[in-house]
Amino acid sequence: MTDKSVWFVTGAGRGMGVDVVKAALAAGHAVVATGRNTDKVASALGEADDLLIVKLDVTRPEDANAAVAAVANRFGRIDVLVNNAGNFYAGFFEELSPEDFRAQIETNLFGPVNVTRAVLPVMRAQRSGLIMTISSTGGISGQAFVSAYSAAKFGVEGWIESLAPEVAPFGIRTMLVEARLLPHRAAHRRVNEVARGVDR
């Protein structure tokens, strides 16, 4: 990777997504910030010369392909993918509707799968890249009322751990961030370190 990298961030309209985008921009990188509602993303982030805001519903593979094409047209490469978009349904398993349970897995597991599938050909062609996927301690230890969420996050953990050796020969690395495993400030510090080029 060069000193100035191109970051592709999903779920960039709130929370950690906003923090990741701002950290990457502050470190001098170009950022593609995505979300289902581009007005919300723009409102959260403002404007910057190296910022491109693109519509992306991670549950739609066609959105992922279109977003990657937009990045290729503007920046020509993708150095860091941050799979951050997600949602959360809590409650007794028997009280979660089948639709809500499935929606949790569609967004939190198949969402990053869809986006990563679209991004990988770009990274493979440039023979470099980092896929950072936001997981959770709910992906390594289940607990009451989060059966749908944990099902998705356990899937994310297994998928990324299996993907890592497949993409390593192409110079592509993976990183799982179990955000709740770290104190809030430490999680933000880790994002800032990556943005500044530490452990990239």
- Alpha helices in 34-178, H assignment, sequence order: 38-45, 61-74, 98-105, 111-126, 147-167
Active-site residue, 89 included: no
Which of 22, 128, 149, 150 is catalytic? The answer is 149
Active-site residue, 128 included: no
Which of 22, 147, 150, 153 is catalytic? The answer is 153
Angle between helices 15-26 and 184-195 (to 10 degrees): 40
CA distance linking residue 56 with residue 154, whole number of Å: 24
Which of 135, 136, 147, 150 is catalytic? The answer is 135
Active-site residue, 153 included: yes
CA distances from 30 to 33, 53, 72, 139 (A): 10, 11, 13, 30
Sign of CA dihedral 7, 47, 37, 76: negative
Active site (catalytic) residues: 135, 149, 153
